[in-house]
Chain A
Amino acid sequence: MKSAPSHPSPPKILKGVPIDPALAKIINVMGSDRAQIAIADAMKRAQLTALLTPNDRLRFAVALMQTGGIFEAIGRSIKIQAILHGANGPGASD
């Protein structure tokens, strides 16, 4: 397992496209390769193809948290960030 960078920079750029802050958290902790797998898995479980709104991020966070372990901690942080930005869908008040 790759260790987390000591000073992860906020939203990273990949192929000229800004990465969503929610996904950047996973990449910061897990590294790009492992993050891609975890992101794809959570996106599939949340039935999402992109993170466009705070409610999308909330759904993604809830799905990620179900993985457990460090993903649960990352998911909880993404969930709180989504709620602060206006998410109010299922899971917001849990």
Chain B
Amino acid sequence: MLELDYDYASCVKGSEKVAWKLDDVMPEGARLDFGRPFLPAALSGQGDLPFLSAEERRMLNQITGNAYLNLFGFVAEYVIALTVEHAHAELFGDHDAIRALMRFADEEAKHQALFRRYVEAFRRDFGHECEVLGSAAEIAGVILGKSPIAGMLVTLHLEVMTQAHYVECVKDDTDIEPFFTKLLRFHWLEESQHVRIDALELDKLLSSATPEILGRAFDDYLALIDAFDGLLKTQAEMDGRAIARATGRTFNADQTSQIVAAQHRGYRHSFLVSGMTNPTFLEDFAKISSDAAHRVSHKAKELS
């Protein structure tokens, strides 16, 4: 259905070619440069907050960068569970698929460890408490409780989104913190195989899906987008409190509301809209159902 021109064996080869070790990318005790922004402007989404100084805006950018990486580690929790489940389904069958899926799961666990190490370095050196979403296992349960096709659609959405973030926004930005760029580069290298494996798994699930199963999957996907949006709003509220602590300022209700709205808008754009409007993702969606692709585009406009 998706007309893919690669297979599991080529994904394994690609994965072996780019594999890296956690300590090579981020040694224990690595220090971050807090004199620079962590996220490029296109992903920090602060909009117009004229009551913040340049230094305060940079701090908010760093708070956002920390939450951004934590969110990647956060979603890795369910991706690992999902991928192991798909590998289990292939036992005694397609050995190439098992290898590809097991490597995928291992790499996601490594990415999660990398992001945790980063978040720990941030917590140690930033000097102010920054709350981040912490109920990853609970959210994993919600996603895994939905239709398997919806779970795989959300995963594909997130993977194509991370690819686009690095290639379009991070790779050539020389202003942002170099370590942050390096970390996202190594993440991107392995994620490029994950996108292909997601598509192969999705294609397999679609091959036997009835119209009823597909209809439920699209409903579930959009419900998960709404649930994710709720989490992003919670993170935005956490950021509002974090910037107040970091700057030592007391923002009035209107200013707090502007900060939270700007953060939420930025996260929505980065994590939801940028995935839902990604040409590769929309193209795949359209191959499955043009009506469903239309619903996704409509939802993206609603969130923009």
Task: Evaluate contact between B93 and A84: CB separation under 8 angstroms.
Answer: no
Task: Evaluate contact between B85 and A84: CB separation under 8 angstroms.
Answer: yes
Task: Evaluate contact between B213 and A25: CB separation under 8 angstroms.
Answer: no
Binds A, one of B104-112, B202-210, B222-230: B202-210
Chain B: number of interface residues, binned into ranges:
10 to 19
Task: Evaluate contact between B95 and A7: CB separation under 8 angstroms.
Answer: yes
- The answer, among A7, A25, A85, for a CB contact under 8 Å with B91, is A25
Compute how far the CA of A7 lies from the CA of B93 in the bound complex, rounded to whole angstroms: 9
Compute how far the CA of A83 lies from the CA of B95 in the bound complex, rounded to whole angstroms: 20
Chain A residues within 8 Å of B205, by CB: 84-85
Q: Is B14 interfacial (CB 8 A cutoff)?
A: no
CB distance from B156 to the nearest CB of A (A): 15
- The answer, among B86, B88, B92, B209, for a CB contact under 8 Å with A29, is B92
Q: Which residue on chain B has the smallest CB distance to residue A70?
A: B92
CB distance from B104 to the nearest CB of A (A): 15
Interface string of A31-74 (1 = CB under 8 A from B): 00000000000000000000000100000000000000000011
Q: Is B133 interfacial (CB 8 A cutoff)?
A: no
Interface string of A10-41 (1 = CB under 8 A from B): 10000000000100111011000000000000
Q: A84-B148, A86-B213 are in contact. Are A54 and B208 (CB under 8 A)?
A: yes
Q: How many of A's residues come within 8 Å of B, CB to CB?
A: 21
Chain B residues within 8 Å of A24, by CB: 93
Chain B residues within 8 Å of A89, by CB: none
Task: Evaluate contact between B90 and A8: CB separation under 8 angstroms.
Answer: no
CB distance from A21 to the nearest CB of B (A): 6
CB distance from A25 to the nearest CB of B (A): 4
Q: Is B94 interfacial (CB 8 A cutoff)?
A: yes
Q: Is B137 interfacial (CB 8 A cutoff)?
A: no
Task: Evaluate contact between A86 and B210: CB separation under 8 angstroms.
Answer: yes
Q: A83-B148, A84-B148, A85-B205 are in contact. Are A77 and B89 (CB under 8 A)?
A: yes
Task: Evaluate contact between A84 and B89: CB separation under 8 angstroms.
Answer: yes
Q: Which residue on chain A has the smallest CB distance to residue B151?
A: A84
Interface string of A74-86 (1 = CB under 8 A from B): 1011001101111
Q: A7-B95, A10-B94 are in contact. Are A80 and B209 (CB under 8 A)?
A: no
Task: Evaluate contact between B92 and A25: CB separation under 8 angstroms.
Answer: yes
CB distance from A64 to the nearest CB of B (A): 11
CB distance from B217 to the nearest CB of A (A): 9
Compute how far the CA of A81 lies from the CA of B86 in the bound complex, rounded to whole angstroms: 8
Chain A residues within 8 Å of B147, by CB: 86
- The answer, among A10, A26, A86, for a CB contact under 8 Å with B209, is A86
List 21 A-B pairs, Cβ < 8 Å: A4-B92, A7-B95, A8-B94, A10-B94, A24-B93, A29-B92, A73-B91, A73-B92, A74-B91, A77-B89, A77-B91, A80-B85, A80-B89, A81-B90, A84-B85, A84-B86, A84-B148, A84-B205, A85-B148, A85-B205, A86-B209
Closest 10 CB pairs of A and B: A81-B89, A25-B92, A77-B91, A10-B94, A80-B89, A84-B148, A86-B213, A85-B208, A80-B88, A25-B93
